[in-house]
Amino acid sequence: MPLLTRWVGGTEFKGLPKLKIVANCAAGHDNVDVVAAELRGIKVTNTPDALVDATADLAWALILACARRVVEGTELVRSGKWSGWHPELLLGTELRGRTLGLLGAGRIGQAVGRRAVPFGMRIVYTARNPRPEFERETGAARVELPRLLKESDVLSLHVPAVPETEGIINSDTLGQMKPTAILVNTARGDLIREEALALALEQGRLGAAGLDVYADEPHVHPRLIAAPRIVLVPHIGSATPETRREMARIAVANVHAVLSRRPPLNPVFG
């Protein structure tokens, strides 16, 4: 059973004539050419439910790191330049009473929203379909994209990377956000035009950004690496032992099902 950690498509399928299933260890399937797989009768599965809590926790790690300038603080201490307590040193953003915006309120978006309640945040979200139970539970309000951009003090991205969402955070939408806002992306790098984000941070038109995912992983845009007030982590949204074990268990269950000629448990098509 080969373990592949990159894009899988027609070329790989040609070299694996007996391939029956690509059991993707991920919530998405944008690293698999599902059309080429379907044409060859290869099943593609994923592990969507296993990653929700770990990824929502990481989104919150990025929100808090940005709000309270944790990485800048670490860098200051490490540099040896910290000269002692000062009332105005590294003042951050207090979350109580602020607005959390969720672009997408599926499994992970809702889990991020639920975690905002004890922080005393107001929640607004966009989704193609309303989420009445989530609204009842958290007091969240469904809004259109322009209002989401305008009102969010923290904007967290939770939609898949599909043609409709590619580059949804660009110079125009960044320009509609508060200059103090925090942008967090634990979804997919293709949602953000990275040059535009770097420019907004460089020019002080955005408060801070926390990123787990990038357009061209593992290459990270050099202007993002150099940008101020940014927290960068290497696609570790689901990186806990519990979640990784559960992802592996689900992937193996899908392989067993397909090799036993049963329908897969988590098909991404068909």
Contact residues toward ligand NAP (CB under 6 A) are 27-28, 48, 51, 55, 104-109, 127-129, 158-162, 164-165, 186-188, 212-213, 235, 237-238
Q: Is 219 a catalytic residue?
A: no
Contact between 52 and 67 under an 8 Å Cβ cutoff? The reply is no
Residue, CB closest to ligand NAP: 106
Which residue lies nearer to ligand NAP by CB, 88 or 133?
133
Rounded CA gap, 27 and 56, in Å? Answer: 13
The answer to whether residue 88 is catalytic is no
Min dist. Cβ of residue 234 to ligand NAP (A): 10
Confirm whether 221 is a catalytic residue.
no
What is the CA 165 to chain-centroid distance, rounded? Answer: 13
Whether 20 and 259 have beta carbons less than 8 Å apart is answered as: yes
Least distance CB 130 / ligand NAP (angstroms):
8
Catalytic residue among 94, 137, 195, 217: 217
Helix intervals (H) in the chain:
10-15, 34-39, 52-67, 70-79, 107-116, 132-138, 145-151, 171-175, 194-202, 222-226, 241-259
Nearer to ligand NAP, 130 or 228 (CB): 130
Give yes or no for a contact between 16 and 40, defined as CB atoms under 8 angstroms apart: no
Q: Min. distance of Cβ 56 from ligand NAP in angstroms?
A: 9
Contact 221, 214 (CB under 8 A): yes
CB 237 within 8 A of CB 54: yes
Q: Which is nearer to ligand NAP, 157 or 206 (CB)?
A: 157
Q: Which of 229, 235, 244, 256 is catalytic?
A: 235
Residue corresponding to tokens 């490490």: 78
* C-beta of 28 vs 92, nearer to ligand NAP: 28
The single residue of 69, 115, 131, 188 carrying the catalytic annotation is 188
Catalytic positions are: 188, 217, 235
